[in-house]
Structure 1
Amino acid sequence: MQRFQGKVALVTAAAQGIGAAVARRLADEGASVVLTDLQEEKVTEVAKEIGSNAIGLKADVTSRDDVDAAVAAAVERFGRLDVVVNNAGGCIVRSVPEDATAEEWHAQLDLTLVGAARCIQAALPQLVQNRGNVVTISSVNGIAAFGNIEYSAAKAGQVAMTVNYAARYGNLGVRFNVVAPGTIRTPNWDNQPDTLEKFGTMYPLGRVGEPEDIAAAVAFLASDDASWITGHTLPVEGGVLTGPGVLDLTTSGPFKKEYPAP
């Protein structure tokens, strides 16, 4: 498929994991891609691997100057910007909720929620001009209680922000949607392979997700195949939200049930 022929996409946090997979998928389908990340060497290498239709830039989504520069680079290099994929984020607060400081809360929200807002604001003139769209990578944490309260609140904020942007700019042809992943096999888990495999047994589909699972969902929502979809959150989570109540990923899997032989 070449659903993005002639289109230009900006993908944040694209040096590895979900962001890199999204950038590769969009490029494979014809897009020119601007990849940004704090890891300049890594993101540049991923862009080189993709080819001449990609550039890698060091950019921090907590800096409006960096975000503006990334949007400007997309327009300067490729002439336009059609798709923004807000992938930057992370779990900053590691203390128990009652010990989290105001500074930690602000840092978490600034990276995950306000960072996505900065990217949208910077790209809006291009998105309006080209009837483009935004896909924000949130999390099942923004939908149900999986712990990491500060991170989860920021992810839930992304969902609320998306709904409101969709309502405000729909009449201008700009779409806003969310992909909410469950546990994904990214480099963050490299030092915890046993934990990751344990988590996989707790999902109804029997495995954790791969970055390519999220990239496929992003490509759909960003494409014209989803031209009448806006303001929605698409969970890509192996069925974890269908479990009996809220799944606690620190316990043994609750989905296994033995049935007597007929």
Structure 2
Amino acid sequence: MTPTQPPGTTPRFDGYGVLITGAGRGIGAATAHRFASEGAHVLVTDLDGARAARTAEAIRESAPVRAAGGTAEALACDVADQDAVEAAVARAVAAFPTLDVLVNNAYACSTDVPLFEDESDESWQRDLDVSLTGPYRCARAALPHLVASGRGAIVNIGSVNGEQDFGNHGYSAAKAGLASLTRTLAGHAGPRGVRVNLIAPGTIRTDAWAGKDAQLARAAALYPLGRVGEAEDIASAVAFLASRDASWITGTTLRVDGGLTSSNYGFHQAVSDA
């Protein structure tokens, strides 16, 4: 659900410049829409440039976005390519008055193999290159501009996979590394006025789960809140961490997981006499 701005108030991200990776669909697209609906100028980047363009167009056509004065542009960007990352940051800096927020959302997640020893170097390296080194590249390129804005924030999209075993070895290792990078970068960037935080989502209903309604239903039963997450749940959390409402929060991991990692609800249900 897109928030509506109370009459006569200034949108929360009025005039902000926001760069989001992997924003052509899913969490990234919902986050781009959320920022634009609160007045931000958003650069929607995605490995698939056509997909990014469609998302940006849909955002521009949104009535809440038009009412808030938000904008959206699109650019193809592979975060595994340093030149592409630098081009995306340069585009945002040229297009917007300031670059204030970087959302590192792009990821790669290889399919699990039956045995750990069967995993290939190629799939392992791809997961790390996109999901961990990609955010490193983006943060490195964007940081001087985030410092210059005076209100800079980086929000990394991690995963509960970085905290517990849910499979996908390379992806999980990358997300655990991203949580560590978040903490160390927060310590480095904090004195320069830039906050760095991470969101660890649980199961989110996105295109990655298309055609898997039965699996999602089984997963929902394991969540204390009784449902899987929606992309908008994560977008809301990203907007909070990027806003001045979170001005004294940095270096933290915010779990947005329906309570999955707070208790072993599935085990409790399995052994309960009720």
Equivalent AA in structure 2 for residue 38 of structure 1: L
Instruction: Identify which range, 52-61 or 94-103, moves more after superposition.
Output: 94-103
Q: How does 1:1-262 map to 2 (within 5 A)?
A: 1=5, 2-51=11-60, 53-95=71-113, 96-131=115-150, 132-244=152-264, 253-256=266-269
Contact kept, 8 Å, 1:162 with 1:177, in 2: the verdict is yes
Q: Among the aligned pairs, what percent are the same residue?
A: 49
SS in 2 for 1:157: helix
Contact kept, 8 Å, 1:202 with 1:255, in 2: the verdict is no
CA offsets 1:148-200 (integer angstroms, 9 cap, x no match): 12111100000000100000111111110000000000001112111111111
Distance 1:75 1:107 in 2: 28
Distance 2:86 2:194 in 1: 19
Contact kept, 8 Å, 1:93 with 1:105, in 2: the verdict is no
Residue aligning to 1:250: none
Equivalent AA in structure 1 for residue 34 of structure 2: R
Instruction: Identify which range, 102-111 or 59-68, moves more after superposition.
Output: 102-111
Distance 2:268 2:26 in 1: 28
Output the TM-score relative to the length of structure 1.
Answer: 0.92
Equivalent AA in structure 2 for residue 177 of structure 1: N
Contact kept, 8 Å, 1:93 with 1:100, in 2: the verdict is no
Unpaired stretches in structure 2, ≥5 consecutive residues: 6-10, 61-69
TM-fit CA distance, 1:216: 0.4
Contact kept, 8 Å, 2:15 with 2:97, in 1: the verdict is no
Moved over 6 A (4+): none
Distance 1:118 1:15 in 2: 19
| Equivalent residues, number | 253
State the Cα RMSD in Å. 1.5
Equivalent AA in structure 1 for residue 119 of structure 2: A
TM-fit CA distance, 1:104: 2.5
Equivalent AA in structure 1 for residue 232 of structure 2: E
Distance 1:189 1:105 in 2: 22
Distance 1:209 1:136 in 2: 18
